[in-house]
Chains A and B, each alone.
Chain A
């Protein structure tokens, strides 16, 4: 790990100013992704700004009747919150399907959204990776791609966004709230927050340099059966091959987002009109334009089957 300096910010303004002073600085929240990447020297910040003391760790009712989740709320606390369990069960389910108990005790709402890909070529500094080193190429092409993306991929990058929580938030129409370097507030719908790789896979979200996430807002509860189904190589403590987060209403309509297939939680609102016709009809539209490799084309049928299982559970 390279040496770095560290400070504990005591207000949002101080954190923003510290970030503006040093373009190499990073905010640190739970640290469970950033420190891992710093040890591997994939992330090389010269300065860390600890944002744990900003008071952004509460869950409150929003004026619209939804829920405002602070950026520093721990994944454990969010999953265990009484209102979340009752009204946004999908979110609780997605959270407890991710990582481990000890990691969720540290991991935060903002850090989880910003966690970086688990693509093995990103993690191995001996391999070419346009995300790690823009312009160096992508060793995943012609390599081992079983875990990697199948839709929305580009010539430059096959990586997926690995967050379970983000899939639930996408299906629930969450909005990410931020403060920019100038202090200005922004609200970014979760569907616009993560970007597709295109030819700039190192730019993963809409955040500007030095922009701080302050919270995530969920709209008022939508009811329905809320289900998160994660398919992985091991029953616990493993990232998703494919996951489906869904809200299914009694009339058969619903909201569906898919994880493990793209550089962002994958949701196609137009595909949801097909939902009442069944999993095959909906996933045909949802996965239209997919460009899988020989090794990961199984993910296309796995999406359909996982959605089928979700619809079956919703009928029970």
Chain B
């Protein structure tokens, strides 16, 4: 989920620690008939099978795009002092904390790349 603009793991925090925080879950992004572009992209690219991991994948992808735009480095960032570029390698590395037991990874990457405007 996204708390005050940042993705975190909901299972490793306590609700009581977030009084007054802005919390966004998948329910807060879009709704049937009015999907968020990233939700629509997951459907277009078949970015899921069973759907269990999908809410987390989608919230995480949105935050990943923002982290890159905010120039936060990752393990695959070549030069720490350059502006971080949006590339498929950056997206892949940053999404590693979201496991998908169905293995929809390549389609998830296609969906995020589509929204971020990069070639997967």
Contacts and interface: CB of A to CB of B under 8 A. Distances in A.
Interface in A96-131: 96-97, 99-103, 105-106
Interface of B: 6-9, 11-14, 16-17, 60, 63-64, 67, 70-75, 77, 80-81, 93-94, 96-98
A103 B63 CA distance: 13
User: What is the size category of the interface that chain A forms with chain B?
Assistant: 20 to 34
Chain A to chain B: the 9 pairs with minimum beta-carbon distance, closest first:
A100-B97, A236-B96, A237-B96, A85-B80, A80-B72, A105-B6, A102-B7, A32-B12, A96-B75
Contact of B80 (A8, A28, A52, A92): A92
B97 A102 contact: yes
Nearest to A76: B72
Contact of A31 (B6, B17, B77): B17
Given A96-B73, A102-B60, A52 B17 contact: yes
A308 interface: no
B97 A106 contact: no
A89 B96 contact: no
Contacts of B72: 76, 79-80
Nearest to A236: B96
Interface of A: 6, 8, 28, 30-32, 35-36, 50, 52, 76, 79-80, 85-86, 89, 92-93, 96-97, 99-103, 105-106, 236-237
A236 B98 CA distance: 11
B73 A105 contact: no
22 contacts: A30-B12, A30-B13, A31-B17, A32-B12, A35-B13, A50-B17, A76-B6, A76-B67, A80-B71, A85-B73, A96-B73, A100-B96, A100-B97, A101-B67, A101-B74, A102-B63, A103-B9, A103-B12, A105-B6, A105-B8, A106-B12, A236-B93
B73 A79 contact: yes
Q: Is the interface of A mostly helix, strand, loop or mixed?
A: helix
Given A6-B16, A35-B14, A236-B96, A80 B73 contact: yes
A50 B74 CA distance: 29
A31 B97 contact: no
A86 B73 CA distance: 12
Given A35-B11, A237-B97, 11 more contacts: A28-B14, A32-B12, A80-B71, A80-B72, A85-B81, A92-B80, A96-B75, A97-B75, A101-B67, A101-B74, A237-B96
Contacts of B12: 30-32, 35-36, 103, 106
Nearest to A7: B16
Contact of B94 (A8, A30, A89, A101): A101
Given A32-B12, A92-B73, A101 B81 contact: no
A308 B97 CA distance: 30
Determine which residue in A36, A52, A80, A92 has the highest number of CB atoms from chain B within 10 A of its CB, and name it.
Answer: A80
B105 to A, nearest CB: 12
A106 B63 contact: no
Nearest to B60: A102
A106 B13 contact: yes
A32 B9 contact: yes
